[in-house]
Amino acid sequence: MKICMIGAGYVGLVSAACFSEFGWTVTCVDKDENRSAELKAGRSPIYEPGLDALMERNMTAGRLTFTGELGPAVAGADVVFLAVGTPMRRGDGYADLSYVFSAVEEAAPHFDGFTVVTTKSTVPVGTSREIERRLKIKRPDADVAICSNPEFLREGSAIQDFTHPDRVLVGCDQARAREVMERLYKPLALRGSTVMFVDRESAELAKYAANAFLALKISFINEIADLCESIGADVQEVASAIGKDRRIGDKFLHPGPGYGGSCFPKDVSALIRTAREAKSPVSIIEQVERVNHERKLAMAVRIEAAAGGSVRDKTIAVLGVTFKPNTDDMRDAPSLVIVPMLQERGATVRACDPQGRQQAEPLLPGVIWCEGAQEAARDADVLVILTEWNEFRALDLEAVKATMAGNAVVDLRNVLDPEAALELGLSYQGMGRGKLASKNADNPRSRLKN
């Protein structure tokens, strides 16, 4: 099969590389000249474990190519994927579809033979029909079918998610298009992966509904964490207990500073706007959006409290700034709210991140960037873990304590051993670990300065 992938961002690039691994011929189109040049040289512009090797293998085999020219890539393609950005539209929170429609308009003159045009981008309900309407005006003679094929990739494990999916979802209303999509995903079906065919509106809504539900689970466990702190329970024990219930599951039950990333914030917002337009409000999801925004603000207040009530003229060491580990993605990362709040209140912020500095530095002006945790902690009054990179789990707390000016640790991801921190005389504060409060208070060493 010949595939054209329009857009070499996170979704487009990962999908193109994985399809080429199936043996299909894939041309990935990106109009950004710098990005296109980087890709042609075999360099991925994003950090995703395993992606560089996957690209190199399939480029060498001639199955994966990159270009800035749309026409030749579209001509003769069996499937044309739309994998361009659909960012949150400024002012109303709705998904901005201008890139999608622009790609369709540009591709229209080049369709040759029966072509399945498929949205990979996350798009609101009704987008497939609107693309269909526009193409009938632009190319009434074109033999095309429009499908919706939303992605369910987690940054940091996207290749595994693509090649071993929980399900592949295809919104399709034409028999010929279904045959093409069945052939496209046959390598996964042969492995036993479920390929689901539904109508296009159902596929479009399912993507938003899935992300909104996961965002809800995160906000739910964050509120339970706060309750645990108030009553002396441990959220990790609570989450483990309820996660064993197969009706609930243990995924996304880890408290933290709020969700971020390229999907949850904009998809939750877009679903709310869609529901309001349909006069069918989703009040639970609206509350999730509000809770998540307030969560990030509350984390800055929590850090301020750990610093003795004020961060003015104090140094805060921040470990991790990306919205999650194993990615360099800074989109809607909690750090973009928390760090500026600390700076506005007079703090000096020293930060490190294994992959995120290049993306984060322009977004977090005034931050002092360090090579690692040990350097960031030097002379810090408070140490904050904001992203759960694995290397922070093995932090040498004794060495960190020796270099800090203060002794407060705020572990917003619960990656450290609280007992070990307390034994060293650190004032440790995790998330939802209420039963540690009394131990902190009873430990005289936790009140000592270095």
Q: Which residues are catalytic?
A: 263
Beta carbons of 93 and 63 less than 8 angstroms apart: no
Backbone angles phi, psi at 25, to 5 degrees: -90, 120
Question: What does the alpha-carbon distance between residue 418 and residue 435 come to, in Å, rounded to a whole number?
Answer: 11
Strand segments, DSSP code E, in 138-208 are 144-148, 168-171, 195-198
Beta pairing partners, 123 = none
Question: For 9-48, b where at least 16 C-beta lie within 10 A, e where not — what string?
Answer: bbbbbbbbbbbbbbebbbbbbbbeeebbebbeeeebbbbb
C-alpha triplet 163, 157, 188: angle, nearest 5°: 10
Residue 280 DSSP symbol: -
Beta pairing partners, 148 = 119, 171
User: What's the full length of the chain, in residues?
Assistant: 450
C-alpha triplet 249, 250, 256: angle, nearest 5°: 135
- Could you tell me the CA-to-CA distances from 429 to 28, 339, 407, 419, 441 in Å, in that order? 47, 18, 11, 11, 11
Q: Is 374 helix (H, G, I), strand (E, B) or coil?
A: helix
Instruction: Look up tokens 């650190």; give the residue.
Output: 426
Strand order of the sheet with strand 315-319? 368-369, 348-352, 315-319, 382-385, 408-411, 427-429
Beta carbons of 8 and 28 less than 8 angstroms apart: yes
Beta-carbon contacts of residue 119 (< 8 Å; ≥ 6 apart): 81, 82, 100, 127, 128, 131, 146, 147, 148, 149, 150, 204
Please state, as a whole number, how many other Cβ atoms lie within 10 Å of the Cβ of residue 59: 18
Question: What does the alpha-carbon distance between residue 403 and residue 134 come to, in Å, rounded to a whole number?
Answer: 63
Beta pairing partners, 117 = 80, 146
